[in-house]
Structure 1
Amino acid sequence: MNSKIGDLIYAGKAKDVYETDNPTQVIVKFRDDITAGDGIKSESLVKKGFYNSVISSKFFEVLEKSGIKTQYIELIKPGYMLCKKLDMIPLEVITRNIAAGSLIKKFPFTDKQELNPPVIQMDYKNDEYHDPMLNDSITIALGLATQQELDGIRDITLKINAILKDFLLERDILFPDFKIEYGFDSQGNIVLGDEISPDTCRFWDSKTWEVLDKDLFRKGESGVMDAYMKVASMILSNEDKEKWNINL
């Protein structure tokens, strides 16, 4: 590992962020913890951090090649991602292409209804308040972002959605919805951060509609790691698998 892990900056539900010997960079450690319901339900799954990190790194590389600015620098080794240090914006930006989950519980959408154009939802990332949904007025009043920044986040998010939706469909995966987060880099640019993985996205097999994400854990079903590994097997190239010694 070229970059030296320093002090712990932040410990989340499934990842830890550490300082490095470069003040503009951090190392994100993907743990094997999995949670649901604001962390009320939790477990540890062998190699979950391994697979989430390689899946996330693949998506970040695809986005970078398409001109999207991300905090990703490199996957040092599975489980450890070198990233640009960001000042994170406490927003969860959720994009929905197909109605599922909380959307059909709160609104009269039909299960699996196609949403065209996609629905973009922003939630306040705050466990104390249980991540409530926001509108622009509340977001601005709380000082979380300006109108210009919110407009920019939506534009970037729609581009990310189009890129990943096409990438996944080519690999027989549907992309019902996903949650992403943004932060400001040292130059004040809005940059994509956090992760893009089965923990933060819904993935369905386009041929069988099989669930390939954390919904299995939320519902208490088996095969969570099998689903994560299947996503990896479907999106990683043979070169990726060989590089990280992944046999799927």
Structure 2
Amino acid sequence: MQKQQLLYKGKAKSVYETDDNDFLILHFRDDTSAFNGERVEQLARKGEINNRFNAFIMQKLTDAGIETHFEKQLSTDEVLVKRLEMIPVECVVRNFAAGSLVRRLGLEEGQALTPPTYELFHKDDALGDPMVNESLSISLDWATKEQLSQMQELTYQVNDVLSEIFDAGDLMLVDFKLEFGVFHDRIVLGDEFSPDGCRIWDKKTKKKLDKDRFRQSLGDVVEGYEEVAKRIGVPLD
């Protein structure tokens, strides 16, 4: 598989074409951004850690019968993935109240949500990824009713699998976002799963070990990511 020209440069990853139209190469960079790109910094080792973290999680999901775009890890900071036609709707599960949910509803941070909540957001950085619903997503032709139903079912399956993994590491999987796409008419999990796109707290101390360390200027961002990785068994060497 030959790496070819740059297709797209996102906030933290670069996407490259390959000589096979069904596959792409993702390069995890050390860039870290917050507030829709208003704040950007370079954090040493972050790209490598996220790549290894993502590969580990994607393999766990594959083992659980959830199809992902992950094919194989190519290097410390690159991975081969299926080329998906991405659906511009993010799926968010919240097991505990945090972030925008606390601000919207005045909830206490860390309040357990039983059962977990499920929300949809339109993926559009310029608009700040606004919250949407199933009806809008269908009317605006972002996805079909059947696709949205599959996305919701798969998101809850992911939550079940990962909540158990993080719980075993004495960690709380507070919330996370997923993105899906279409590959040969199948709904497939895409993008990445890393501390960049979820909230993870220590179960006892409630110490934040995710991207909120960057958003809230708490420091030791990469160290927080490494701690989570070690606790759940991600190989970092």
| TM-score bracket, shorter-length normalisation | over 0.9
Query: In the alignment, what sits opposite 1:107?
Result: 105
The one-letter amino acid of 2:233's match is L
**Counterparts of residues 87-166 of structure 1 (less than 5 Å):** 87-166=85-164
Q: Distance in 2 between matches of 1:35 and 1:175?
A: 21
Query: In the alignment, what sits opposite 1:52?
Result: 50
> Could you tell which deviates more after superposition, 95-104 or 203-212?
203-212
Pick the aligned partner of 1:68 from 66, 73, 76.
66
Query: In the alignment, what sits opposite 2:219?
Result: 222
Q: How far does the alpha carbon of each residue in 1:203-236 deviate from its partner, in whole angstroms, 9 at most, with x for none?
A: 1111322110000110112111110111121122
Query: In the alignment, what sits opposite 1:232?
Result: 229
Q: Distance in 1 between matches of 2:93 and 2:18?
A: 32
TM, length-normalised to structure 2:
0.97
Q: CA RMSD in A?
A: 1.0
Offset at residue 173 of structure 1 (A): 1.3
Offset at residue 172 of structure 1 (A): 1.3
Pick the aligned partner of 2:189 from 189, 192, 205.
192
Q: How far does the alpha carbon of each residue in 1:112-136 deviate from its partner, in whole angstroms, 9 at most, with x for none?
A: 1111111111100012222110011
Identity of aligned residues (%): 39
The one-letter amino acid of 2:77's match is G
Q: How far does the alpha carbon of each residue in 1:49-76 deviate from its partner, in whole angstroms, 9 at most, with x for none?
A: 0000000111000000000000001111
Q: How far does the alpha carbon of each residue in 1:149-195 deviate from its partner, in whole angstroms, 9 at most, with x for none?
A: 1111100100000000011101111100001100001x110000100
State the number of aligned residues: 237
Offset at residue 108 of structure 1 (A): 3.5
Offset at residue 147 of structure 1 (A): 1.3
Q: Distance in 1 between matches of 2:106 and 2:145?
A: 29
The one-letter amino acid of 1:69's match is E
Q: Distance in 2 between matches of 1:210 and 1:220?
A: 14
Structure 2 alignment gaps of length 5 or more:
none
TM, length-normalised to structure 1:
0.93
The one-letter amino acid of 1:212's match is L
Q: Distance in 2 between matches of 1:195 and 1:135?
A: 23
Q: Distance in 1 between matches of 2:40 and 2:27?
A: 18
Query: In the alignment, what sits opposite 2:30?
Result: 32
The one-letter amino acid of 1:159's match is Q
Q: How far does the alpha carbon of each residue in 1:68-96 deviate from its partner, in whole angstroms, 9 at most, with x for none?
A: 00000111111101111111111111110
Offset at residue 110 of structure 1 (A): 2.3
Query: In the alignment, what sits opposite 1:12?
Result: 10
- Secondary structure (helix, strand or coil) at the match of 2:37 reads coil
Structure 1 alignment gaps of length 5 or more:
none
Conserved in 1, the CA contact under 8 Å of 2:168 and 2:232? no
> Is 1:202 matched up with 2:166?
no
Stretches of 4+ aligned residues off by more than 3 angstroms: none
Q: Distance in 2 between matches of 1:33 and 1:181?
A: 20
Q: Distance in 2 between matches of 1:180 and 1:133?
A: 14
Conserved in 1, the CA contact under 8 Å of 2:95 and 2:117? yes
